[in-house]
Structures are given as C-alpha cells and as structure tokens.
C-alpha cells in the first residue's frame, strides 16, 4: 500500500515534531534488577553471582558467545529469578536466530521485572519478526503506559495493530497520536491505507483531503490523492489531481513522469511522449527517476512504446540536461552499445572512471568492450590499471592474460595467470579459462607437454569445452602426433557445432594428416560453405587437400585466393612459387 508521493521517514523523525518528547536512557539492564532477585540467596551466592555475571559480560563483549552462555546459565543456577541473566541470554539467542529460546527467557524475565522496558522492547521486536503482531502491539501498549512521553511506543502500537488487521484499534491509537503531535502526513496516509484495506473509501479519501486542506499548496498531497484514485481505478479523478499539481508547480518533474506512466497505461502515445519529453527536459527532476524511466521504456526492445527516434531524443536530452552525473554516462554507454557503437560507448565509460575510478563494474564493462573490439593493447594497459585497484578480481587477470597471448607476450601471460590463481577459489568457470589460456601460452613457448596437460585439465573440468578440444586436436595434427586422439577430440567438437567453419577446418586437417583426403575434402568444403571462404588459412588448407588429390590447378587457385586475404601460413608464397605442397615440418 505504498504511495510514491510519500517520502517515508524514520519513526523517530516523525515523533520529533511532538511537544518536548524526550527519551529516558538506561545504561544497562542490571540497573533495573528488583530487590526480590537477591533477597533469597546468601551473601556468598551474591558474590559468586556478581563475579560470574561480569565474566559473562566480558566473554560476550569479546565475541566468545558459547562461554558467555555457559556463564549466564550458571548465574541462573545460582539465582533462578535473575531477570538480568535471562535478558543477557535472550539477547545472545536472538542474535543467533533462536527466537524461540529468546522469547521464552524474555517472557519469564518480564514476570520477574514487569517494569523493565528493555525486556519488553526486545520481546516486541522478536514477536514482530515472528509476525505475532498483536502480541507485539500489546507490549508497546504496556511500554507506553510505563513511559507516556515516548510517542514512539504509541506509534509502534498503532502500526502493529494495523499489521495484525485490528483496524479499528489501530485508528484509535493513530487518532490519539495525532492529537499529541498534530496533523502528520505519514499518520494520515497510514490511516488512509487502513480505511482503504477495510473498504471504507469515504474515510480513506477524507484523510487525504484533510492533508490538502491543511496545506493546499503542497503538491505531494495532491499526488497522494491521485495515487489513491488510481488504486481505485478512478482514472478521471486521478488525472484531475495530477493536473492540480501542475497548476501549483508547472515544472514538477515527478508529476510529469507520473503523467507519462498514466498515458502509457492508456496507450496514448502522443500524450505519453509529450510529458516524457518535458520530464527529461526538466533540470530539477531527479536524475534517478529519469534513468529508471529510461530503463523501463527500453526494457523490451521487441515491444517498443516509443519510436527509435524518440528514444534517441530522450537520451540526447538526458545527456544535455544531466551530463554532469556519472550515472548518465553509464546509461549513455549502454545505449551506444545497443546501437553497436562500442568505441563511443567505451569513451563514455572512461568519462565515468574520471570520477568513479573505484567502481569495479565500470572497469569490467569497459574491458569487455575492448575485448569485443579486439583491442588487446587497450586491454593490456587498462587491465593493469584495474588490477592495481582490484587485485582480488580473477576476471581482470584472465583478460590481461588474453591480451598477453594476442600480443605474443607468452611468458608474461603465464606469470599473470599464476598471480591470479589464488583468487579463483571455487570459481570453476574461471579455473577452466585460466587452464585454457595456460595451455595456449605453453604451446606457443614450445612447452608442449605442459600445454597438453593443461588442455587435458580443461576437458576434464568441462567435457563440453569445444574450443579446448578443437585447439588441442589442431596442435596434435600439425605436430602429426596422436592423430587418433586428435580425430576423437575434433570429431566431438564438429558434431556439437556442425556449422562452425573453424572446427570443420580442424577436423578436415586431422583427416588430411591421416591421409584420408577424400573425407578431408568433404569437411573442408563444409567449412568453406559455412563462412570459411573468408578465412585465408582455411582456404589455404583447402588448396593443400586439392593438391594431394591431384587437382593441382584448383589447388593453385585456392592458394592465390588465400594470399589475397592477407592471412596465410609462412609456406604459402613458396607453395605458389614452386607449384606444390610443402610439408610444414
């Protein structure tokens, strides 16, 4: 039953408007021990009780809860009627989540010392957590009887009666509170909600009208009335009160967005756009509200309410009116990403980092964009900066390792992976990535045994890691080693990804190395049909297969095509020059 026009504030801040309300402080529960607690025990027992109780407090203070429980329990053995020991035990049990034991101890403590308000406050809180609202309300009623100057007790009594659906009693208590502190918008709204829940619409409306009559120039009160009518599905009256807000404050940003939402629900695109545009242009409107509204209207791109041009205009307005807020740069970056403008988006995130360098998510987002842009020099530099701020984030080590691999800094890649290893903890996906990068780095350093061991680790952890299988198989094939295993690995990757040109190329190459040229040609042509014709290495491999099948002219044609792409092996130029296949070994 929350109203968006009501700025909810803490109970204490409401009650400070009361006349001279003060709170009495009690230094500890021990001060309120009644005389009857010690009247039936010997002097020696009193001394032992005092020593044990103080030791219990010490143990509790240093966090040794089990020792504290033992000591306070011993206090109760010495004096079974010690409400102070019961209270200390109850607090420990409550902190440990054992509300049943806590409530039993507090109930007994209250029978021993019914005037101690701290016992009742804690028990009321426990009742409230357990949704025993009526019991909690009764305790606050007792507390108010003990301390009638503490209006917080009266407020809690009313609020809990409302939660217990004792609506008539709650209204009576709210009325009593209102007599003491005067008209208060939170009390009026809570009364309105009670009346509305009880089906008393006239009384609910009257409570909000009372606020309007009390201060007819306060826009929030008209907003509350508009919200009330909306909840009652009375759109005409809701609109009437929204428009009254604009009469008082024509530039009220909040009502502009309320009207936008109102007309969106009515599918009135023209009016919704009118007020949405005004809301975004309003410099006094809360930036958070604008951002939330923007996220709402772009949440379902497949079902847009506004046109793409209109959304673009709202983003432009947001940047122009609130460009000094870092959150706007973040939203603008996401907008640019949705348009495929990754470079521009990354620049917006860099602007955010000028003032929010400790925001890890911005660093990560920026680095991932650089990864999409294949800007490995940028990743290499930015990941190093990010690691200085966030040395415990494994993904940063992983991204920097990727950059090192692409920049042929293989030893450094291994070093950075070793540095990040302790931060992986139970992060299995990152562990798999680390091992995959480690395999690639080791292979490039000609540490073949270590590389293949790392590939085996990856596949053991992730039996469906097709990339690892493909790369492992390819490296085995170019070395002409364990071709049977290479065919098994590559075959699995192809069966799972039958249209992946890279995987098809690897499988064809394994078959080529096994001298099964006919089948190799079949899979290589599949790779070509699935986009491999744009990859120079794949086209070159196709020429190699054709040559070995005796189709020398067609082989030469494919080699020349591969040369035109600019992406080919170190042997290609010599192949074309000599007109024959050259063994890479």
Residue 271 lies in a domain: no
pLDDT tops 60 at residue 17 = no
Residue 489: which CATH number? 1.25.40.10
Report the distance separating Cα 161 and Cα 171, nearest Å: 9
Residue 203 lies in a domain: no
Q: Where are the alpha helices (DSSP H) in 147-184?
A: 151-163, 167-181
Q: How far apart are CA 73 and CA 70, in angstroms?
A: 5
∠ Cα 487 492 497 (to 5°): 120
- pLDDT exceeds 50 at position 98: yes
Whole-number Å distance between alpha carbons of 245 and 43: 73
Q: Is 15 exposed, middle or buried (0-12, 13-18, 19+ CB in 10 A)?
A: buried
For residues 460 and 71, what is the distance between their CA atoms, to the nearest angstrom?
Answer: 53
Q: Which pLDDT value is given to residue 375? A: 96
How many C-alpha atoms does 322 have within 13 Å on its Cβ side? 25
Q: State mean pLDDT over 527-555.
A: 93
Domain assignment of residue 475, yes or no = yes
At residue 511, the 3 state secondary structure works out as: helix
- Place 20 in a pLDDT band, splitting at 50, 70 and 90: very low
Interior/surface letters 67-96, b for 16+ CB within 10 angstroms, e for the rest: ebbebbebbbebbebbbbbbbbbbbbbbee
Residues 111, 142: contact at Cβ < 8 Å?
no
pLDDT in the model for residue 584: 59
Mean pLDDT computed over 199-223? 91
CB within 8 Å of 149: residues ≥ 6 apart: 20, 21, 22, 24
HEC string for 83-146:
HHHHHHHHHHHHHCCCHHHHHHHHHHHHHHCCCCHHHHHHHHHHHHHCCCHHHHHHHHHHHHHH
Would you say residue 516 has pLDDT above 60? yes
Query: 345 vs 29, which has greater pLDDT?
Result: 345
pLDDT at 23 over 70: no
What end-to-end distance do the CA atoms of the chain give, in Å?
77
Collapse the DSSP code of 383 into the 3-class scheme (helix H, G, I; strand E, B; otherwise coil) and give the result: helix
Q: What are phi and psi of 62, to 5 degrees?
A: -90, 5
pLDDT of residue 370: 96
For residues 511-521, average pLDDT: 94
What is d(CA 265, CA 272) in angstroms, rounded to the nearest whole number?
A: 9
| Angstrom distance (rounded) from CA 339 to CA 278 | 25
User: What pLDDT is recorded for position 280?
Assistant: 92
Q: Kindly state the percentage of the chain with pLDDT values over 90.
A: 69
Contact 59, 68 (CB under 8 A): yes
* % of the chain exceeding 70 in pLDDT: 93
Q: Is residue 257 part of a domain?
A: no
Does some domain include residue 567?
Answer: yes
Vertex 434: Cα angle to 432 and 440 (nearest 5): 105
Residue 564 lies in a domain: yes
> What is the four-CA torsion angle of 222, 227, 229, 232, rounded to 10 degrees?
-160
215 pLDDT more than 50 = yes
In total, how many domains does the chain have? 1
Average pLDDT for residues 217-231, to the nearest whole number? 91
**Six-digit token string for 309:** 């041009």
Taking 50 as the threshold, does the pLDDT of residue 10 lie above it? no
Q: Is 548 exposed, middle or buried (0-12, 13-18, 19+ CB in 10 A)?
A: middle
pLDDT tens for 259-303 read 988 998 888 999 999 999 999 999 888 888 898 888 888 888 778
Is residue 24 scored above 70 in pLDDT? no
**CA pair distance 518, 524, nearest whole angstrom:** 10
CA neighbor of 77 nearest in space, from 113, 59, 52: 52
Residues of the domain holding 495: 464-578
Residue 400 located in a structural domain: no
pLDDT in tens, 463-504: 999 999 999 999 999 999 999 999 999 999 999 999 999 999
Q: What is the pLDDT of residue 13?
A: 35
| CA separation for the pair 78, 60 (Å, rounded) | 19
Mean pLDDT (whole number) for 377-402: 96
For the record, the structure tokens of 347 come out as 């620049």
Helices 83-95, 117-129: inter-axial angle, 10-degree rounding: 30
Mean pLDDT estimate for the chain = 88
CA separation for the pair 92, 284 (Å, rounded): 49
Confirm whether 536 is domain-assigned. Answer: yes
**Is 140's pLDDT higher than 90?**
yes
How far is Cα 89 from Cα 87, in angstroms, rounded to an integer? 5
Nearest to 173 by CA among 182, 189, 185, 161: 161
């Amino acid at each position: 039953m929350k109203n968006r026009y009501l700025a909810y504030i803490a109970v204490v801040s409401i009650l400070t408007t009361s006349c001279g309300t003060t709170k009495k402080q009690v230094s500890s529960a021990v001060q309120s021990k009644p005389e009857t607690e010690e009247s039936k025990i010997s002097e020696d027992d009193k001394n032992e009780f005092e020593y044990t109780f103080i030791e219990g407090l010490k143990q509790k203070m240093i966090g040794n809860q089990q020792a504290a429980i033992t000591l306070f329990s011993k206090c109760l053995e010495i004096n079974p009627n010690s409400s102070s020991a019961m209270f200390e035990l109850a607090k420990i049990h409550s902190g440990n989540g054992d509300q049943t034991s806590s409530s039993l101890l507090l109930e007994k403590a209250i029978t021993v010392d019914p005037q101690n308000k701290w016992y009742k406050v804690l028990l009321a809180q426990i009742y409230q957590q357990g949704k025993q609202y009526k019991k909690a309300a009764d305790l606050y009623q007792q507390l108010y009887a003990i301390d009638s100057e503490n209006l917080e007790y009266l407020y809690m009594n009313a609020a809990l009666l409302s939660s217990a659906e004792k609506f008539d009693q709650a209204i009576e208590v709210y009325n009593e509170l209102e007599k003491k502190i005067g008209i208060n918008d939170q009390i009026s709204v809570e009364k309105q909600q009670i009346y509305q829940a009880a089906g008393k619409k006239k009384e609910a409306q009257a409570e909000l009208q009372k606020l309007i009559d009390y201060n007819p120039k306060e826009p929030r009160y008209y907003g509350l009335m508009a919200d009330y009518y909306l909840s009652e599905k009375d759109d005409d009256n809701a609109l009437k009160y929204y428009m009254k807000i604009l009469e008082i404050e024509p530039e009220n940003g909040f009502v502009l967005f309320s009207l936008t939402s109102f007309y969106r629900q009515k599918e009135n695109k023209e009016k919704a756009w009118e007020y949405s545009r005004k809301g975004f242009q309003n410099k006094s409107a809360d930036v958070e509200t604008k951002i939330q509204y923007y996220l709402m209207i772009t949440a379902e791109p497949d079902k847009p309410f506004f046109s793409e041009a209109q959304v673009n205009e709202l983003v432009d307005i947001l940047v122009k009116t609130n460009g000094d807020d870092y959150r706007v740069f973040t939203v603008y970056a996401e907008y640019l990403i949705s348009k495929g403008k990754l470079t521009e988006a990354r620049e917006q995130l860099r602007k955010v980092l000028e003032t929010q360098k400790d925001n890890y998510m911005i660093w990560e987002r920026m680095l991932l964009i650089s990864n999409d842009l294949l800007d490995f020099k940028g990743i290499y530099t930015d990941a190093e900066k990010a690691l200085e701020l966030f040395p415990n984030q494994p993904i940063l080590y992983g991204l920097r390792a990727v950059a090192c691999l692409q920049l042929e800094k293989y030893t450094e890649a291994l070093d950075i992976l070793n540095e990040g290893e302790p931060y992986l903890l139970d992060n299995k996906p990152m562990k798999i990535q680390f091992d995959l990068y480690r395999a690639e780095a080791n292979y490039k350093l000609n540490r073949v045994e270590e590389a293949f061991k790392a590939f085996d680790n990856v596949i053991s952890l992730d039996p469906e890691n097709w990339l690892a299988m493909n790369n492992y198989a390819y490296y085995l094939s170019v070395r002409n080693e364990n071709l049977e295993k290479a065919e098994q690995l590559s075959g699995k990757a192809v069966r799972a990804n039958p249209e992946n040109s890279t995987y098809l190329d690897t499988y064809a190459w394994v078959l080529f190395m096994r001298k099964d040229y006919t089948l190799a040609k079949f899979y290589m042509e599949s790779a070509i049909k699935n986009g491999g014709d744009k990859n120079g290495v794949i086209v070159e491999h196709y020429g190699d297969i054709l040559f070995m099948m005796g189709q020398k002219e067609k082989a030469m044609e494919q080699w020349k095509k591969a040369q035109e792409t600019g992406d080919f092996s170190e042997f290609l130029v010599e192949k074309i020059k000599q007109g024959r296949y050259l063994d890479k070994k």
